A and B are shown apart, each in its own frame.
Chain A
Amino acid sequence: MSQYLMTHSLLGAWLRSMKDNPFEEGDDPEKETALEEFMHVLRREKTPATIAMQRGIDFEDLVTSILTDGRPVPYHWENKDKMILLETHPPEKHPYYEAACKVANMVRGAKLQYVAQKPVVIDGMELLLYGRLDAMKEGRIFDIKFSGSYERGKYRDSTQHPMYYKLVPEIMNFTYIVSNGSDVWTEVYWFDEIPRIEPVITDFLHWLRDMNLMETYKQYWGALG
């Protein structure tokens, strides 16, 4: 039997599409619906990074730079709906440096970008659960988020901590470290309050079958043996 990759990003994109109601879309006909965004993810199509995504990437690169080699890090900004690269800074000159230092101090000594995977059978399908952890140490997983509109509890319904807890069940807790570039907040989920990921995956597989998208999933998400 073949094995298929399953990631929290795929599940997250699907859940966002489920919340999206195409009949209540705003008045911008060119705006992609969450379902269209999900289809890009399902077909593993590369889409250009949004400004929010790019800032997250820049911030994470900055934290990594502070922790490792001190390499210069880009700084993007949005100007009239266009993303522009303002400058590339040495870490200590970067506008987010102080916040990134706080984050770096929290994850110092951790294994960065640790890849975890686990074969499972769910709803009769052989799946390979896969995750790339931002940082792991001392029984804790840390995920670094950049958010300009963070509000406590934002990640409660995320599939990320349930998926990563399934991948690394020996953890005590999962901590989201969130920054807006100046402030840093933490949102901690202890192992005994993390829901199981299996029901979400089961629902996802049923939905794929109901929508005749299972073959598309199999086409793009086959795991290499």
Chain B
Amino acid sequence: MIKKPEDFDLGEKKIRMLLAGPPGIGKSTLAMSAPAPLLIDTDGGFDRVEFMYRKDRLVANSYQEILDDLQPQNLKEYQTLVIDTAGRMQSYMSAWAIAQDAKNGQRGGQLSQRGYGAIKREFNRLIDYMFVTLQKNIIVICHSVEEKEDDVIKQRLKLEGGFKNDVWEPMDLGGFIEIQGNNRVLSLANTEKHFGKCTHGLQQAYIIPDLSKGGENNFLTNLFAEYNQVNQAEAKHIEEAKALYQAAMTGGRLLIADVKDAQTANETFPLLAKLEHRLTSEREIKAEWVAKMKELGLVYDKATGQYVQGVKA
């Protein structure tokens, strides 16, 4: 499908979300509140979900089995794929990567440096496949651990090596579930205690509904809908700003390209001031103007308010 730049893509966007928290806080149950979920259960998370909130699950003993099952024809009724947990998936992928190539492992079965690179690439490929090819929402569940740093207890992802950074990269949203008073809270904010990822426009924290007395488990379905609403408005605003930015940059560059000497510089300079700027276009065009003046050896004479020939660069 060919689209014009002005055709904003405002349709419902699939969402990639990282959900972290200590064991037993209710990550798997919360993930089941996403639209039409399928739990890729590598960690026995299904057993910890209340019976009434359980959904379909994919059970596998190896990463290859997961790949074999993640075929479009098997997934038509699901809108969200839940990886539960990233840590166990990392273990599955490690065994798979070593089986693919012995150089990905070391004696003792751990990953080699090369192996870490291999599973990083494979994780990114898997997320892209689930998101782009299968067109599903993705939730990646991750256990967290507490670490003390400068007298502050920090929540960190329980993952090995650089994977704890890599896992954030493709995510649209990410946060930690924590207890605040009598409530469980999903915090999407960057705080002293943990990192978060929140496309701007959403709340920094949400109280998770208490399901102990029953009720519909639809928190993430509602959050995803809110995200899409906010994101559509924001995307339109950003696209409009970028279009004006691009127009200013194109107009400014055309004007600057025509400057050949002091006379054309003095004719062009007032025209630059008439450009309608957005974002950083004014600064960027000014920088390009200054570079052009330097290239032509033109200097600004404050007394006359004119550019005059100086020394060529």
Which residues of chain A have a CB within 8 Å of any CB of chain B? 19, 111, 114, 116, 136-140, 150-153, 156-157, 168, 170-172, 180, 182-183, 185-186, 189-193
Is residue B273 within 8 Å, beta carbon to beta carbon, of the partner chain?
no
Is residue B212 within 8 Å, beta carbon to beta carbon, of the partner chain?
no
Kindly list the 7 A-B residue pairs having the minimum CB-CB distance in the complex, ordered from nearest: A139-B279, A153-B195, A190-B200, A152-B195, A185-B165, A156-B190, A111-B287
Cα A12 to Cα B242 with chains together (Å):
33
Cα A152 to Cα B164 with chains together (Å):
8
Interchain Cβ contacts within 8 Å, total number: 67
Asked whether A183 and B162 contact (CB < 8 A) given A111-B284, A168-B283, the answer is yes
Is residue B297 within 8 Å, beta carbon to beta carbon, of the partner chain?
no
Closest to B238 in A: A172
Within 8 A of A (CB), among B279-301: 279-280, 282-284, 287
Shortest Cβ distance from residue B288 to the other chain A in the assembled complex, whole angstroms = 8
Per the CB 8 Å criterion, the residue count for chain B at the interface is 27
Please state if A152 and B165 are interface contacts (CB–CB under 8 Å). Answer: yes
Chain B residues near A191: list those with CB within 8 A.
Answer: 200
Please state if A137 and B190 are interface contacts (CB–CB under 8 Å). Answer: no
Chain B 233-258, CB-CB to A under 8 Å as 1, else 0, gives 00000100110010000000000000
Within 8 A of A (CB), among B86-109: none
Please state if A114 and B166 are interface contacts (CB–CB under 8 Å). Answer: no
Please state if B200 and A137 are interface contacts (CB–CB under 8 Å). Answer: no
Within 8 A of A (CB), among B53-72: none
Please state if B279 and A171 are interface contacts (CB–CB under 8 Å). Answer: yes
Is residue B150 within 8 Å, beta carbon to beta carbon, of the partner chain?
yes
Please state if B280 and A139 are interface contacts (CB–CB under 8 Å). Answer: yes
Shortest Cβ distance from residue B48 to the other chain A in the assembled complex, whole angstroms = 27
Which residues of chain B have a CB within 8 Å of any CB of chain A? 117, 120, 150, 156, 162, 164-166, 168-169, 189-190, 192, 194-195, 200, 238, 241-242, 245, 278-280, 282-284, 287
Chain B residues near A153: list those with CB within 8 A.
Answer: 190, 194-195
Q: What are 18 A-B pairs at a CB distance below 8 A? A: A114-B283, A114-B287, A138-B245, A138-B280, A150-B165, A151-B164, A152-B165, A153-B190, A153-B195, A170-B278, A170-B283, A171-B280, A172-B279, A185-B168, A189-B190, A192-B200, A193-B190, A193-B200
Chain A residues near B190: list those with CB within 8 A.
Answer: 153, 156, 189, 193
Please state if A183 and B165 are interface contacts (CB–CB under 8 Å). Answer: yes
Chain A residues near B283: list those with CB within 8 A.
Answer: 111, 114, 116, 136, 168, 170
Given A139-B245, A157-B192, A193-B190, 13 more contacts at CB 8 Å?
A114-B283, A136-B284, A137-B284, A151-B164, A152-B164, A152-B165, A152-B195, A153-B194, A156-B195, A168-B280, A168-B283, A170-B278, A180-B162
Shortest Cβ distance from residue A55 to the other chain B in the assembled complex, whole angstroms = 17
Chain B residues near A111: list those with CB within 8 A.
Answer: 283-284, 287
Asked whether A170 and B280 contact (CB < 8 A) given A138-B245, A139-B241, A182-B117, the answer is yes
Chain B residues near A140: list those with CB within 8 A.
Answer: 280
Closest to A136 in B: B280
Chain A residues near B169: list those with CB within 8 A.
Answer: 185-186
Chain A residues near B166: list those with CB within 8 A.
Answer: 183, 185
Closest to B193 in A: A153
Cα A182 to Cα B117 with chains together (Å):
9
Chain A residues near B241: list those with CB within 8 A.
Answer: 139, 172
Cα A171 to Cα B245 with chains together (Å):
12
Cα A190 to Cα B198 with chains together (Å):
10
Residue in A116, A138, A185, A189 whose beta carbon sits within 8 Å of that of B242 in the complex: A138
Which of A116, A140, A170 has most B Cβ within 10 Å? A170
Cα A123 to Cα B278 with chains together (Å):
32
Cα A192 to Cα B153 with chains together (Å):
26
Please state if B168 and A152 are interface contacts (CB–CB under 8 Å). Answer: yes
Shortest Cβ distance from residue A88 to the other chain B in the assembled complex, whole angstroms = 25
Closest to B199 in A: A190
Chain B residues near A151: list those with CB within 8 A.
Answer: 156, 164-165
